[in-house]
Structure 1
Amino acid sequence: MKTFREAIEGRDIEAAIALFAEDAVFRSPAVHRPYQGREQVGVILRAAFAVFEDFAYQRELNDDHGHALVFTARVGDREVEGCDFLRTNDSGEISELVVMVRPLSGLNALAAAMQKQLG
């Protein structure tokens, strides 16, 4: 089975979504309420794939509680840096994805682009 990083870097969004638990939680820096469930996570990840350009993971950090994947990307003319924080459940499925993005101008561009994608 592919890891999340392998799926994202291989641009295989369906493989990435399949790694999430049915009750997975996604927390975004642009909204205060988390998204619940694999289906909702899939909607968000598909939209992010359409919005991010030149997306690349730069490094990976791991411990007993999860993984952190540091990335760079572009949203329109804004460069962003961010981190995907992943937690897994006892079955090895991703139970939580928390995304952090900086700088604020990049986050604002990301939020606006995601809003267009999601309607």
Structure 2
Amino acid sequence: MHPFRAAVEAGDHAALEALLAEDVVFTSPVVFKPYPGKAFTAAILRGAGRVFQDFRYVREIGGDDDRDRAFVFKATVDGREVHGCDFLHFDEDGLIDEFTVMVRPLSGAQALAAAMGAQFERITAEALGSSAESVTSGESAE
């Protein structure tokens, strides 16, 4: 099992973050603009962990030495079934420098967009190093 998959399935956020390059770029399945940087990508992945229920990988595509890998998953978001794929590119040091997520069907993507949108203030605060508690209590994240 690939270390990325093992970290995600174990809910090991520290191990997952250790696999991210400083200059990683995260491309969302529901937002056009990509999100650059390790802090933001790690915060997005923690947010996804909070919104996905019954998350599981069902297939890995690519060999151990491949710099491009795909991880097919299934999950539920607010009662909607989501099928998706994490497409990863690894740099010369073996760290993830591109992280793209695709999901289907449309109803699942819409549920994911709404659930992640509700998390976005907390995600931003986490990425900027602010306390998530201050954000959820209504204080400024700055």
TM-score per shorter chain, which class? Answer: over 0.9
Report if aligned partners of 2:67, 2:91 keep a CA contact under 8 Å in 1: no
Q: What's 2:128 paired with?
A: none
Task: Write the letter of the residue equivalent to 1:104.
Answer: L
- Within 5 Å, give how 1:1-119 maps onto structure 2: 3-63=3-63, 64-119=66-121
Q: CA deviation at 1:91?
A: 0.5
CA RMSD of aligned residues (A): 1.1
> Secondary structure at 1:22's aligned position in 2?
strand
User: What is the distance in 1 between the residues matched to 2:105 and 2:13?
Assistant: 25
User: What is the distance in 1 between the residues matched to 2:41 and 2:11?
Assistant: 16
User: What is the distance in 1 between the residues matched to 2:13 and 2:76?
Assistant: 18
User: What is the distance in 2 between the residues matched to 1:13 and 1:89?
Assistant: 20
Q: CA deviation at 1:43?
A: 1.1
Q: CA deviation at 1:85?
A: 0.3
User: What is the distance in 1 between the residues matched to 2:33 and 2:90?
Assistant: 20
Structure 1 gaps, min length 5: none
What is the TM-score with the length of structure 2 in the denominator? 0.80
Q: CA deviation at 1:118?
A: 1.1
> Secondary structure at 1:29's aligned position in 2?
coil
Q: CA deviation at 1:13?
A: 1.6
Q: Deviations over 1:1-34 (max 9, x none)?
A: x711000011112211110000000001111110
User: What is the distance in 2 between the residues matched to 1:20 and 1:105?
Assistant: 30
Task: Judging by fraction of residues, say which structure has more helix.
Answer: 2
Q: CA deviation at 1:44?
A: 0.4
Identical pairs, percent: 53
The structure number with the bigger radius of gyration is 2
User: What is the distance in 2 between the residues matched to 1:72 and 1:81?
Assistant: 5
> Secondary structure at 1:31's aligned position in 2?
coil
What is the TM-score with the length of structure 1 in the denominator? 0.95
> Secondary structure at 1:85's aligned position in 2?
strand
User: What is the distance in 2 between the residues matched to 1:85 and 1:45?
Assistant: 14
Runs of 4+ in 1 over 6 A off after TM superposition: none
